[in-house]
Amino acid sequence: MAEPFKCPHCGAHDYVVVLTGCNITGATLHDAYTWSEEAQEYSFGGSLVVESETLENEGGSALCGGCEADVTDAVTAYQASQGDAAEGEA
Ligand SMILES: [Zn+2]
């Protein structure tokens, strides 16, 4: 059974991965626009990649969804431990 990632700082299970230097082919994006009554204009919430044919990236980092600490090393170790059950224990 898979175990959730656990933040070493606050114990939260949610995390956000930010990928940099992406090379994406055949991607579908969602662009979010939110109307602000105060400013009387739309604010752009950014593009979200919903789907892509290929995605290559140069690097990335991970942030905890709870305390926003940098948990890149912990997430990398977690993903490695989930990838191949035969490896990682040694
Ligand atoms: Zn945390």
Structure confidence at residue 85 (pLDDT): 52
pLDDT tens-digit series, residues 67-84: 999 999 999 999 999 876
Between strands 54-56 and 28-36, the pairing is unpaired
pLDDT at residue 2 in the model: 80
pLDDT at 89: 44
Residue 9 has pLDDT above 80, yes or no: yes
Q: Distance, CA 34 to ligand 1 centroid (Å)?
A: 28
Q: What is the pLDDT of residues 21-53, one digit of tens each?
A: 999 999 999 999 999 999 999 999 999 999 999
Nearby residues for ligand 1 (ion, Cβ within 5 Å): 7, 9-10, 12, 64, 66-67
**How much distance in Å is there from the Cα of 15 to the middle of ligand 1?**
8
CA of 6 to the centre of ligand 1 (A): 8
Q: Within the chain, where are the H helices? A: 72-83
